[in-house]
Amino acid sequence: MMFESLRDKVVLITGGARGIGKGLAQACLAEGARVIITNLNPEVGRAAEAELGQLGSIRSMRCDATRADDVDVLLDDIWRNEGPIDIAFSNAGTGGHQRALESSLDEMRSLMTTNYESAVVLAQGCIPRMLRSGKPAHVMFTASEHAVALPAGNEDLGFVFYGASKHAMLIFAEWLRADLRTTNVSVSLLLPGPVLTEGVSAAFKQLDQNPDDPAIRSTFSKSVERLLRDRAITTAECAERALRGLRSGLFYIPTQPHILQDINRRHDEMAAAFERMGLSY
């Protein structure tokens, strides 16, 4: 499903008060959309609403996207006040630094719930309503470059369960695309690399002031820092590329060129394994 223009379109952005979600909100407002953003913290949501309100029609609602009852309340409210949602950005999520053999199951479950289950809950709540409306509609899931490969140079970051949650979103979206192929609803997967969100920008600023900050260095080695600084894009750039992919009717929407190198590296290793096993065509 391609949307040439977002003017007067009803757009939902979960996790839309900060980071990539806030960038998406700004971009959609600039195109004339009517935007609803969600955030767990009502104060953060209201602050984003006040800041972005000068750009167009926006309102904020508190919603825990991992809870089906919260999402139902949110969607019923939007359908009642703005009408059927044209585009939903399933963007709620969080980061995390975990090692595969050191983190607790509770840490893993918490991250999977926030990043993956929230996408499932929103899809199960929103898409049936979109199907009933009969209008062309779209859901874009914010995944990550970690959904398609372990990015070269990121090995020291400890993103094992973050990566697992985003990889789960990849296969969920692929199956969902197949389920919806003959309907009025389409889906896509945003695959951003490093983005200068508030948290990343704050970490870089702190390192500018104290390059050996032990709290940050426990996560970012100097080599990883250089790599992330080199690859990072702004939230506005990420949003522009997301909307460009939407207008192009893409399913996979990458945001930085280095991601293709990581995909090819995985492909080459797997192709070599088939060759060694004598399974090549």
Distance CA(55)–CA(32), nearest Å, equals 9
Residues 6+ apart with CB under 8 A from 156: 221, 223, 224
Contact present, 125 and 177 (Cβ < 8 Å): no
Long-range contacts of 73-82 (CB under 8 A, 24+ apart): 74/12, 74/38, 75/125, 75/126, 75/129, 78/10, 78/12, 78/36, 79/129, 82/10, 82/34, 82/36
The active-site residue out of 116, 162, 252, 281 is 162
Indicate the DSSP class of residue 271: H
Report the SS3 class of residue 189. Answer: strand
To which residue do tokens 């990072």 refer?
232
Contact (Cβ atoms closer than 8 angstroms) between residue 119 and residue 167: no
Q: Is 209 exposed, middle or buried (0-12, 13-18, 19+ CB in 10 A)?
A: exposed
Helix axes 160-179, 105-112, angle to 10 degrees: 40
116 is catalytic: no
Residues known to be catalytic: 162
